[in-house]
Amino acid sequence: MDLSASLIPGPDYMGLTATIILWPLGTALFLLLFGKRLSTFKVGGREIPWAGVIAVLTLLRSFVAAVAMFVDIVGVELAEGAVGHGGANVENARTFTVHMFDWMQVGGFAVGADFLIDQLSVVLALVVTGVGTLIALYSIGYMHHDPRFHRYFAYLSLFASAMLMLIFGDNLLVTFVGWEGVGLCSYLLIGFWFERPAAATAAKKAFIVNRIGDFSFLLGMFLLVAAVGSLKIEDINAAASGGQISGGIATIAALLLFGGAVGKSAQIPLYVWLPDAMEGPTPASALIHAATMVTAGVYMVARMGPVFLASEGDLALTVVAWVGALTALWAALIACTEYDIKRVLAYSTVSQLGYMFLANGLGAFSGGIFHLITHAFFKALMFMGAGSVMHALANETDMRKMGGLRKVMPITGATFLLGWLAISGIVPFAGFWSKDAILAAAWEQGEYALWGIGLFTALLTAYYMSRLYLRVFEGPLKHDPDVHPHESPWTMWVPLAVLGGLSVVGGAINLPWDLRLEHFLTPVLGEFEVPHGATAWILAGVALCVAVSGIALARFLFLTQRGAELRARLVTGSWLDKLLTASRNKFKVDEVYEATIQRPGHRFAMFSAYKVDAKGIDGVVNGAGALVAWLSDGVRRLQSGYVRNYAALFLLGVVVLLSALILRVGPLG
C-alpha cells in the first residue's frame, strides 16, 4: 500500500511508532552492554543508579509519544457510523498503517514489518507505557540493593518494547514476535534471582506452559494463512466478517488462537504458571504478570474478534466465555485460602483475566478492554503495595505474620486500600464500573449462568481481597520482632499514589451513562448491548451488595472476636473444612498435571534416553564397531609377519582368481 497516502496529512506516525517501540529496545541493548559500568548519583542522601533513570526516562519518552499519538488520533474526524468488526462498511478513519520495511516475500505471500495504529492499539500503548513508567520508577527504589540492577532494567525495557510490538503488530507475525518477546522477558524476570532453585523452576515452568499456548497460536496462524492467504489482521478480519472463510474453519482458527491466549493469559487449564511466577521481583510481577503481558491474550482475542464471531453457532465465543467464567471462579476459590500475599494477588489476576475473557466471549470486547485497563491500574497498585510491604518486612510474604501495617506504612496502606476497594467493586472505584459492565453484558445476553458465576466470583473477590487487606494492614500491629517496618522511599510511594488515584477515577473513562471508552473503541471492536434503565440500576445494586457482603464477611471473620472463634471452630470435619483444605492444596492441579503429564513425560524421556538412545541407537552404532572388532580379531591372525605366508596367500589368490576367470570366460585362447 502507498505509505505516504496514509500518512499525509496526518502526523509522523512512523516516527512516533519507532519512538514508542525502538527506544525501549535501544535502552535494553545499551543497558545489557554497558549497564555494569554506569555509576550512581545522590539525591537527598539516596543513591540512585543511572541505569534505572535511563530506563524510566525511556519509558516516559515512549509514554509521551503514545500520548501524542492518542491526541493525533482523537483529532481525526470520524465518519458517521463507523462500527468495527464488520458491523458497517464505513472505513475507520482513525486507522493508520506504518510500514517500516519488507520483512519477507515468498511468492505471492508477503509479510512486512508493519504496525497498526488505531484506537485499540493506542489505548493499550498508553496503559503499557504509562503503567510501565510508574513501575520502572518504583523498581528504582525496590531493586536498589540488587547487584544485577542494570540487568533488571534491561529486561524491563526489552519487555516494554516487545509488548508494544505485540500491541502495534499489523500482522499476526509481528504480533507473534512481540508475543514471544514478552514470553522471553517473563522467563528472564521470573528467574531473575536464578540462584534460588524455586525461581529457576518457576521460570522454566512459565516458559514451557506458555510454549504450549504459543504452539496453538502458531497453528492458528498457519490455518489462517492457508484459509485467507494473508497474515494481516485487517485482511483476516475482513475475510472472517465477509464470510470468505467457512464457519468450521473460523471455529478451529479461533479456538487455536484462543489456545495461545489461554497460555499467555493464564486461563484454565494453563493457569498454573502464573502463581509460581511470583518468584520474580515484585515490580516485574506487577508489570508483566498483572498489568500488561498476561492481558495480551485478552487483547489478541478482542483484536481477532471477527474470527471468533464468524465461528459456527458461536461455538468459539461460548468456549471463551465459559473458560473465562470458570477460570474466574476457580482462581478466586484458591485465592480465598492462600496465605502468601503475592500469590493471592496472582490468583486474583488469573480470576480477573477470567472476567476479561468472559467479556470477550460475550462479544463485549470493549468491556474486556475496559476491565483490562482498570485492572492494570489497581492490580499493579496492589502488587507494588505488596512489594512495599515485603520491602519493609525483609521480604516476608506470609500474611499470617503481618497485621496493622497501616500504622507504620500510611501511604502504602492508604493506596492499597484504594486498590482493595477498586477490585472489590465498591462504587465509585474503577473496578466497580468495569466489572459491572461485564456482568451487565452477561445478563443482557440472557447468559444467566455466566452472570451467576461472575456474581459469585465477585463475592469471593471482595472476600479474599478484604481478607488480604484486613490481615495485613488492619488490626493490631504484628510483624517479626527483628524487622523494623518503615514507609518506602518516594520512588516507591509516588507510583503507588498515582495508581491509587487512577484506581479511584479510572472508571470515569467509561461510565455507564456516557460509555466514552466503548464509543471510542467501537470502530475497532464493534458494539455490544448493555441493559438500560431500571435493569442497569438493579444489576449494579446487586453487584454492589455482593461486594459489600464479601467485605463484611471478611471483616467479621478477621477483625472481630466472634469471627476468630468461628474460624477456630471450623477446623475439623465439616464439608466447608474439606473445601478449604482442597482450596489450600490448590485443588491439587499441579499434582494432577505432574502425575498425568510431567511424570509420564519424564518417564518417556528416561525411556528414550536410557533405553532407545543408550541401548537402541548406541547399541546399533557400538554393535557395528564390535562386529568389525570381532571379525578383525579373527582375521588379523593372517598377518603373521612371515613373508612366506603372504607369498602363499598371494599365490592362492592368483590361483583362485585365474580359476574363476577360466571358469566364467572359458579356457584361454
Residues that bind another protein (CB under 8 A): 636-637, 639-644, 647-648, 651
CB of 657 to another protein, least distance (A): 15
Instruction: Pick between residue 545 and residue 647 the one whose CB is nearest to another protein.
Output: 647
List residues bridging with 105 in a β-sheet. Answer: 110
Quick one: which of 11, 3, 134, 2 has its CA closest to 65?
11
> What is the C-alpha separation between 601 and 214, in angstroms, rounded?
19
Instruction: Pick between residue 651 and residue 656 the one whose CB is nearest to another protein.
Output: 651
List residues bridging with 398 in a β-sheet. Answer: 340
Q: How far is CA 341 from CA 5, 203, 383, in A?
A: 53, 19, 9
One-letter-per-residue 3-state SS of 199-237: HHHHHHHHHHHHHHHHHHHHHHHHHHHHHHCCCEHHHHH
> What is the C-alpha separation between 386 and 396, in angstroms, rounded?
10
CA 378 to mean position of chain CA atoms: 17
CB of 203 to another protein, least distance (A): 58
CB of 656 to another protein, least distance (A): 15
Q: Cα–Cα–Cα angle for 107, 111, 117, nearest 5°? A: 150
Instruction: Pick between residue 109 and residue 650 the one whose CB is nearest to another protein.
Output: 650
CB of 637 to another protein, least distance (A): 7
Q: How far is CA 35 from CA 24, 112, 287, 344, 540, in A?
A: 14, 32, 21, 34, 51
Quick one: which of 193, 129, 133, 150 has its CA closest to 48?
150
Grid coordinates 466478517 are at which residue? 241
Contacts of 198 (CB under 8 A, 6+ apart): 279
Instruction: For residue 24, say if its preceding peptide bond is cis, omega within 30 degrees of 0.
Output: no
CB of 625 to another protein, least distance (A): 18
Instruction: Pick between residue 608 and residue 632 the one whose CB is nearest to another protein.
Output: 632
CB of 627 to another protein, least distance (A): 18
Grid coordinates 453484558 are at which residue? 441
Burial class of residue 274, CB neighbours in 10 A (0-12, 13-18, 19+): buried
Could you tell me the three cell numbers for 650?
Answer: 598371494
Instruction: Pick between residue 511 and residue 662 the one whose CB is nearest to another protein.
Output: 662
CB of 669 to another protein, least distance (A): 9
Burial class of residue 589, CB neighbours in 10 A (0-12, 13-18, 19+): middle
Q: Is the CA virtual torsion 479, 480, 481, 482 positive or negative?
A: negative
Instruction: Pick between residue 597 and residue 648 the one whose CB is nearest to another protein.
Output: 648
CB of 631 to another protein, least distance (A): 14
Instruction: Pick between residue 569 and residue 644 the one whose CB is nearest to another protein.
Output: 644
Instruction: Pick between residue 628 and residue 648 the one whose CB is nearest to another protein.
Output: 648
Instruction: Pick between residue 635 and residue 665 the one whose CB is nearest to another protein.
Output: 635
CB of 642 to another protein, least distance (A): 5
CB of 187 to another protein, least distance (A): 58
CA 642 to mean position of chain CA atoms: 79
> What is the C-alpha separation between 139 and 31, in angstroms, rounded?
15
Instruction: Pick between residue 568 and residue 665 the one whose CB is nearest to another protein.
Output: 665
CB of 643 to another protein, least distance (A): 5
Instruction: Pick between residue 75 and residue 653 the one whose CB is nearest to another protein.
Output: 653
CB of 638 to another protein, least distance (A): 8
Residue 514: count of CB within 10 angstroms of its CB: 11
Instruction: For residue 523, say if its preceding peptide bond is cis, omega within 30 degrees of 0.
Output: no
Instruction: Pick between residue 561 and residue 639 the one whose CB is nearest to another protein.
Output: 639
CB 257 within 8 A of CB 233: no
Could you tell me the three cell numbers for 30?
Answer: 545499551
Residue 635: count of CB within 10 angstroms of its CB: 9
CB of 649 to another protein, least distance (A): 10
Instruction: Pick between residue 569 and residue 636 the one whose CB is nearest to another protein.
Output: 636
CB 495 within 8 A of CB 291: no
Instruction: Pick between residue 394 and residue 651 the one whose CB is nearest to another protein.
Output: 651
CB of 660 to another protein, least distance (A): 19
Residue 242: count of CB within 10 angstroms of its CB: 11
Contacts of 256 (CB under 8 A, 6+ apart): 216, 217, 219, 220, 223
Instruction: Pick between residue 8 and residue 668 the one whose CB is nearest to another protein.
Output: 668
CB of 634 to another protein, least distance (A): 11
